[in-house]
Amino acid sequence: MDHADKKEMLLSNLIDEGYLRSKDVIESFRKTPRELFVLPEDSEFAYLDHPLQIGLGQTISAPHMVAIMTEELKPGRKDKILEIGGGSGYQAAILSPLARSIVSIELEEGLSDFARENLRKAGITNVELIHGDGSSSIPEGPYDRILVSCGSDKIYPEWVENLKDGGFILVPLNRFGFQTLYKITKNGEKLEKKRILDCSFVPLRH
């Protein structure tokens, strides 16, 4: 089976399982070549619903997790989105056709170079991949949405400050050895917290 057939099988499974729901999100999964975002030796596994090692102890998330995050994020066409934890660049690539622009920050320089090169090969031009610590030094917003792709102990003030009023952060928060994905909506001075589901991302580091 070639990549196209494997991809169609994966998509139909993700749709049947209820992870992929929106037409635009399904279309983005269909046109984004995940094989360009994994290590060359793992190319044949690109369309399995598994996380894969991408070096430096980090992983590209499993497709169903990217589907959950993207469906929950509900990006609007005019949105400016910030991602913390660029990894391979795949999640940012999936957001590319759904939003105006994406800034993605990656702590490991080797991975930020990897992600930038993967995005270039995929012909994606509205993602800016930045090397840095996304908990402390983020390019000034405001952002419509913030997506945290690593497990965090807390909500960093830099995220809230650079988030538009009415916007939200999707963040896996560490709690007692587990991780739960939360949607944190900025409502004036208040933060509204909603639990989405339990999940498992690599930890946010400094």
Residues at the interface with ligand SAH (CB under 6 A): 58-61, 84-85, 87-88, 90-91, 105-108, 111, 133-135, 149-150, 202, 204-206
The three-class DSSP label of residue 111 is helix
> Closer CB to ligand SAH, residue 85 or residue 167?
85
CB of 81 to ligand SAH, least distance (A): 12
Catalytic residue among 28, 61, 96, 152: 61
Compute the C-alpha angle 189/127/67, nearest 5°.
75
Question: For tokens 């709690």, what's the residue?
Answer: 175
CB of 53 to ligand SAH, least distance (A): 11
Residue 144: DSSP 8-state: E
The β-bridge partners of 186 are 191
> Closer CB to ligand SAH, residue 11 or residue 105?
105
CB of 204 to ligand SAH, least distance (A): 4
Cα–Cα distance measured from residue 157 to residue 135, given in angstroms and rounded to the nearest whole number: 9
Q: CA-CA distances (angstroms) from residue 174 to 24, 147, 155, 180?
A: 31, 15, 11, 7
> Closer CB to ligand SAH, residue 11 or residue 66?
66
The β-bridge partners of 187 are 190
CB of 138 to ligand SAH, least distance (A): 9
Which strand (E) or helix (H) includes residue 14? Answer: helix 3-16
61 assigned to active site: yes
> Closer CB to ligand SAH, residue 10 or residue 60?
60
- Catalytic machinery residues: 61
